[in-house]
Amino acid sequence: AQSVAQPEDQVNVAEGNPLTVKCTYSVSGNPYLFWYVQYPNRGLQFLLKYITGDNLVKGSYGFEAEFNKSQTSFHLKKPSALVSDSALYFCAVSPDRGSTLGRLYFGRGTQLTVWP
Amino acid sequence: EAQVTQNPRYLITVTGKKLTVTCSQNMNHEYMSWYRQDPGLGLRQIYYSMNVEVTDKGDVPEGYKVSRKEKRNFPLILESPSPNQTSLYFCASSLGGLFTDTQYFGPGTRLTVL
């Protein structure tokens, strides 16, 4: 069965410090991995994706994520957090099998709070 | 302006009264999808469509119907709503598949079924 786990419901970090939001996955075949962010009153937005190639993926707003196949992880990172990064973050995975193209499995979300 | 629109944005209804939530995109996107968001459960895919007349079930299709008769519209139909369908619903679209193109989300529809 395909699944995504975000082990932390909440992550708190001080502004200027590095942040990590964790994500692990279970999927048949090669995974396609995504991060989305939900800002208060601004809806859901795409942040970044891993399809193939370099394990370190860079996305919007200075975020990056590292794909680790052996640990089946895709953690979201940012070197220096901003208060404006406070939001709900979702990891998602899509299996690469032809019969399930278009399917997307989300984690439960991690609420990131950055303290000034 | 390129966007995904949903209507209505808020709806309170009663059990069993059929309703439709509309979703429309003006970007000529092929892929469209519906999700529901519930506290503690994150987002779950209801149905998706790879193109006109092509729809497939997601995680939680029970109690929902969709149709894709034209590229721009992807309505979500609740034939007989029940209280467990109280949720925040999002429609999304992308130009091609998930892998090649960014998925854009609508503003959400908050549905309450009494």
What pLDDT, in 10s, does the model give residues A2-45? 899 999 999 999 999 999 999 999 988 888 899 999 998 778 99
Q: What is the predicted pLDDT for the residue at A73?
A: 96
Which of B103, B104, B109, B110 should we substitute to test contact with A (largest number of A Cβ atoms within 10 Å)?
A: B103
Residue A97 banded pLDDT, cuts 50, 70, 90 = low
- B33, A104 Cβ separation under 8 angstroms: yes
- A31, A94 Cβ separation under 8 angstroms: yes
Q: What is the predicted pLDDT for the residue at B99?
A: 67
Q: What is the predicted pLDDT for the residue at A2?
A: 84
- B79, B18 Cβ separation under 8 angstroms: yes
Q: Which residues of A touch B58 (CB under 8 A)?
A: 103-104
Residue A103 C-alpha, separation from nearest chain B C-alpha, in angstroms: 6
Amino acid at the residue A25: Y
Q: Looking at the partner chain, which of A34, A44, A108 has a beta carbon nearest the beta carbon of B105?
A: A44
Q: What is the predicted pLDDT for the residue at B12?
A: 97
Average pLDDT over residues A56-74: 95
Per DSSP, chain A holds a count of helices (H) and strands (E) of: 0, 12
Q: Is A16 left (phi over 0), alpha (psi -120 to 50) or beta?
A: left
Residue B69, pLDDT > 90, answer: yes
Q: Looking at the partner chain, which of B42, B48, B105 has a beta carbon nearest the beta carbon of A102?
A: B48
Beta strands in B1-114 (DSSP E): 4-7, 10-13, 19-25, 31-38, 42-51, 54-57, 65-66, 76-78, 87-94, 104-105, 109-113
Average pLDDT over residues A90-110: 84
CB atoms A108 and B40 under 8 Å:
yes
Radius of gyration of chain A (CA): 14
Average pLDDT over residues A76-86: 97
Residues A112 and B69: their CA atoms lie apart, in Å, by 40
